Structure 1
């Protein structure tokens, strides 16, 4: 049964090449054994021909030819071993480079997605409905802001919720969770950072009890027409949409793919396991990232299996600087 296009990727084909190469190595070993036995046979034949004297001269010629062919086979096989070893090495190098490219492409797609989220919060903080509900907190303005934010959540689909706080930290309007209106966020680090820097602040990924899921918070100052900060507008990104990127990555069935935060903790994975619990700091690849390497791969033996661990660190995208995250991709050797 032939494989479909979706079942085939470069790593799979390269691993099949390596398997074929290993089969070739077995064939060469068999030829080597036959040549060695032929060499031994030629030696014994030469001894018997010498004992036979003149009568064995013809047999001696045959024995010499057998030895010549056996020696030629052994010499050729030595060259074949070198070629096989070189093919195996080159295949491993191609797998390593391809795997590193997968890591690069994945973190780049994540950066581009999160850059858009960074733009969203800044654009929406300028909407009149958002500013009006802070300048004049009444039922009409609150409802107008609520309807706007609810429509945004419904249209964009990638957000759990959007909400607005005044400069004291009190939530004055929410797109989805109306039960949080009136709560005070003044002690939250992200709220303090927005007021302190007068700029956008992005949290790391975390689990939110309020949103009942993993999320990221994008927060931005809301300014009046004179540029005075009158509040904070914030969004809660639905982390499940990062998995649309992760799940679309083509890797072999034995491969692993992880998105880790700056501390080396898994915040997304191809198998959706170990989120915020799995620590990858023991990997040499992560250690390379910690000392400043941005892109590359390591060869490591884990549980007796030699693997390539490719890595790529975020470089952000345009104005979005990234959160120091990296993608790690493994492939068996």
Structure 2
């Protein structure tokens, strides 16, 4: 619709310019007729004097009309340029707002996904097999817990692995020992997910860490969630250890940033990203991650033009009990589309 308005304004300007040019041609002919009439009046001598006065007046009127036409033409050109600029700004603003909505929706989708991860970790930490592994530590209890974690992983394919650590930070059971061997007995007491997980206030609390590579999981990018495993699996029970779950970040996030609703032209000229709170690129439609994007966010949602680029962004609003980590959805595209 806005494109049609701009085209209409430009058509009006073009048609008006054509009419002014036509009027100038008529006045030029009138001017020439006036000159010819004055020449003929001069040849007629005294008899043509009165006609000469009329001819001079015709020339004066033609000059005045030409001057008015030139002024009108200047005004129309100036207004047409202003209308065209205003139209382009309006179209850019509408497009920027639409892309900002898409950017915010992108980060909302991932946060809804990660909210489910926070539910998973709190639920599984109360599983009797998980609790027994740290409440009544024994080889058989650890084997049973590992079997239980493996069963969960067969159904929840978005995870790379699930780990149970005791109160000292020693891993006692994992869900995929065949894929990631040698983890049992590993000391994770200094890792953020464990340190924050053991300090959670109750069974309703959890911790989540920013996306980072985990060397123990083949260097894969993971989002780690954790909560304390408590006596009897009770919400207010004493913390006996920590359950850590490791979300396979890259394929899940990549599917989201490449699946946004853009036209083929927009998609070819755009980079859709997820940024962490420090504006580090943690997912990108072009596959490039790890760089820091110079986002100039002045609000929770918006867009701005920078050179030949249009940047649209949206800050995570969180979802349910998941407050988010200050991440942004962001789209950088060509301003000329």
Give TM-score, length-normalised by structure 1: 0.79
Cα deviation for residue 84 of structure 1 reads 3.7
Give TM-score, length-normalised by structure 2: 0.78
Q: 1:194 aligns with which of 155, 179, 197?
A: 197
In structure 2, what is the Cα distance between the partners aligned to 1:110 and 1:221?
24
Equivalent position of 2:100 in the other structure: 100
Q: 1:316 aligns with which of 313, 318, 322?
A: 318
In structure 1, what is the Cα distance between the partners aligned to 2:14 and 2:76?
12
Q: How does 1:236-255 map to 2 (within 5 A)?
A: 236-239=246-249, 240-251=251-262, 252=266, 253-255=268-270
Q: Aligned pairs, how many? A: 301
Equivalent position of 2:160 in the other structure: 160
In structure 1, what is the Cα distance between the partners aligned to 2:135 and 2:149?
17
In structure 1, what is the Cα distance between the partners aligned to 2:282 and 2:11?
43
Q: 1:45 aligns with which of 20, 24, 29?
A: 29
CA contact (8 A) 1:217 1:236 kept: yes
1:267 aligns with 2:282: yes
In structure 2, what is the Cα distance between the partners aligned to 1:246 and 1:107?
9
Let me know the Cα RMSD of the aligned residues.
Answer: 3.3
Cα deviation for residue 37 of structure 1 reads 4.6
Equivalent position of 2:47 in the other structure: none
1:203 aligns with 2:209: yes
Structure 1: gaps spanning 5 or more residues:
1-12
Equivalent position of 2:296 in the other structure: 284
Equivalent position of 1:326 in the other structure: 328
Cα deviation for residue 197 of structure 1 reads 3.7
In structure 1, what is the Cα distance between the partners aligned to 2:280 and 2:11?
43
Cα deviation for residue 73 of structure 1 reads 8.8
Cα deviation for residue 324 of structure 1 reads 1.2
In structure 2, what is the Cα distance between the partners aligned to 1:321 and 1:143?
35
Cα deviation for residue 143 of structure 1 reads 2.0
Equivalent position of 1:233 in the other structure: 243
CA deviations 1:48-78 (Å, max 9, x no partner) are 1102229899xx89x89x9799789947776
In structure 1, what is the Cα distance between the partners aligned to 2:286 and 2:12?
38
Cα deviation for residue 39 of structure 1 reads 4.8
Secondary structure, aligned partner of 2:96: helix
Equivalent position of 1:89 in the other structure: 89
1:142 aligns with 2:138: no
In structure 1, what is the Cα distance between the partners aligned to 2:192 and 2:78?
66
